[in-house]
Amino acid sequence: MGGGAGAPRGPALDPAALEAARELEELASKLAEIFGGPQQQQQPESTQPHRQQQQQQQQQQQQQQQQQQAPPLLDLHLGCIRAVYGPRDSEFKDEALVAIDTGAARGAPRGPGAAGGGGEHHGVHVYAALGRAQLEALEDLPGGDEARLAALARDNLVSSGGGGGGGGGEGGGSPSAAVPSAAELRHLRRLLASRVTVGADDLQEVQSPLPYPFSALGLLVFGDADSGAPPLSGSSGDDGARAASDMSICTGFMVSPDTVLTAAHCLYNVPNDLRPDRPIGYRKVLGFFPSYSRAANGAGVAPLGRVDAVWSEVAPEWVAAAAEGNFYWRGDVGVVRLRHKVGDTTGWFGLAHGCDVAAALLKAAAKERASDALGPTVAAAATSSAAVSVAGFPGASATTAQGGKLLFPLMGDQTCRVATSGLCPADSGGADRQAGMLQHKCDTGKGMSGSPLWVRGDTREGAAAAGLASGGGFPSRRDAAGAAEGAGGGAGVTVVGVVSRSRGDCPWGPDCVNLAAPMDARALSLIRGWIARS
């Protein structure tokens, strides 16, 4: 039977292409469920010519629409695997084009191309106009799809060549560039896993001028041992990180006039599944930007400029575990000594043992139960969890300012809570190095490693923590005038954990748990020694 005039008649799909098409259709359906986008019903396969001709007519209409407007969230077409993205992370911020195209690496004719469009289609196109959050979600598709997507990208990803792709075009790519470089794949995978959101995304920007305690936060920038002017931090000399070539960011927070705490994994490399060949050793601190944030006009603000590091250090247990290729979860705390005492201007956080805070809350609950026979349940509920806050610089929120400068807004979650029992996690001492980690449901992201998890000062747990911090030698301090944030003032700002990593099916799986290294006796002893060192 004849189709409409001018309808293209492509060759039949080979079995491998059909199998890839089915695989991508299944993946697209799951993506649509996750992102809430439209799901296009797939017609059952038919060998009848008129059905093929109808499909070809529909495909031709879809091609014409693709040339005039950006594709919807998930729009299935016939074609080959392709991912089009710009050279900088920031180009993903508002809208990015990801096109999955199964035929390119197999040498099939190209799909809808640049101007003129008339290429024949083979396979299935899955176009997704995604914002940054959706790109991050691709990393953690359920049921093993993340590994399948990674394999598809590794085998079939085509470099765009022409920069960021808008609309439905091919972005100027060359069919001969069927295999991306390792750097391109690493770049894409980093984008896919840049935020961990538990439930709704509660991260909100905190803009300049920063109130305390946000003023005591700062952006840490790291690089390899050969980069930049600042001196090499750490005690490893030319070892380890000299072979690395990339830069990264983390969050740090002041705990004394010249001491910054952060995560150990920011300071000292450990091989991981994405970087199994990662060199072990200290990274170089290229600078600390205290009180860094973004102003209302969008400009980046670093009121104290860049402060150089004198030295950095992690726990000996971290170094020993890294030598064996292990991530010592509970010891994920490190320190940077600054050249200048900027804490006298920014203020600093207090520190308290989470077990002591939990004990104080439980003791208060017991007193309330004894004195209030009518409301024991209310008293227990009030002390069953602690209000906590977190803030830092998630890379997923990066923006590009005029002139191409990359800015990292300061983002915070002020709405989360931690179970009282969670403030004092049990350490089994077994092989599970995640044992003893403080579990929380605050929203975090890559770049927020090293952020403080603190109890808010306007709560009973904040007052209890501030009193314990003052008694234990780690009280917070607000400004150069030396105004301590004690329990009596009701404004204690006391850290009980340092943001580390997550586990489970993150970001949206029911078993997703964010982890923080606790302020336990071992950590506090190390920090006390670090602060006292000249």
Rounded Cα gap, residues 268 and 280, in angstroms: 7
Helix 145-156 to helix 182-192 angle (10° resolution) is 150
Domain boundaries, the chain: 15-39+46-86+93-108+121-160+175-193, 204-532
Cα angle for residues 323, 324, 330 (degrees, 5° grid): 90
Phi, psi of 101 (to 5 degrees): -140, 110
C-alpha neighbours within 13 Å on the C-beta side of residue 485: 30
Can you give the pTM of this predicted structure? 0.59
pLDDT given for residue 414 in this prediction? 79
Residue 279: predicted pLDDT: 81
pLDDT score at 112: 33
Residues 6+ apart with CB under 8 A from 355: 423, 424, 520
Phi and psi, residue 334, nearest 5°: -140, 175
Q: Which residue has the tokens 């077990």?
A: 355
Question: Does an H or E element contain 189, and which?
Answer: helix 182-192
Model pLDDT, residue 12: 44
Side by side, the strands of the sheet bearing 259-262 are 284-290, 217-223, 248-256, 259-262, 334-338, 309-314
Dist. CA 343–CA 255, nearest whole Å = 8
517 and 498 in contact (C-beta within 8 Å)?
yes
What is the rounded CA–CA span in Å between residue 365 and residue 347? 32
Closest CA to 494 of 441, 428, 418, 435: 418
pLDDT tens digits along 338-357: 999 999 999 999 998 888 88
Of 385, 333, 389, the closest CA to residue 517 belongs to: 333
CB 413 within 8 A of CB 390: yes
pLDDT computed for residue 524 by the predictor:
93
Q: Is the peptide bond before 175 cis (omega within 30 degrees of 0)?
A: no
How large is the greatest C-alpha to C-alpha distance in the chain, in angstroms? 89
Rounded to whole angstroms, how far apart are CA atoms 408 and 220?
Answer: 11
Structure token pair of residue 33: 């469920």
Q: How many CB atoms lie within 10 A of CB 518?
A: 29
For 55, the 3-state DSSP assignment is: helix
Q: What is the spatial distance between Cα 259 and Cα 530, in angstroms, rounded to a whole number?
A: 8
Which residues of the chain are modeled with pLDDT < 70?
A: 1-54, 59-203, 208, 224-246, 272-276, 364-384, 396-406, 427-434, 458, 479-492, 503-512
Question: Which residues contact residue 470 at a Cβ distance below 8 angstroms, ignoring those fewer than 6 apart?
Answer: 350, 484, 486, 487
C-alpha dist (Å) from residue 28 to 86, 180, 197, 416, 484: 22, 22, 22, 33, 55
Beta strands in 72-164 (DSSP E): 75-77, 96-101, 125-130
Q: Report helix, strand or coil for 501.
A: strand
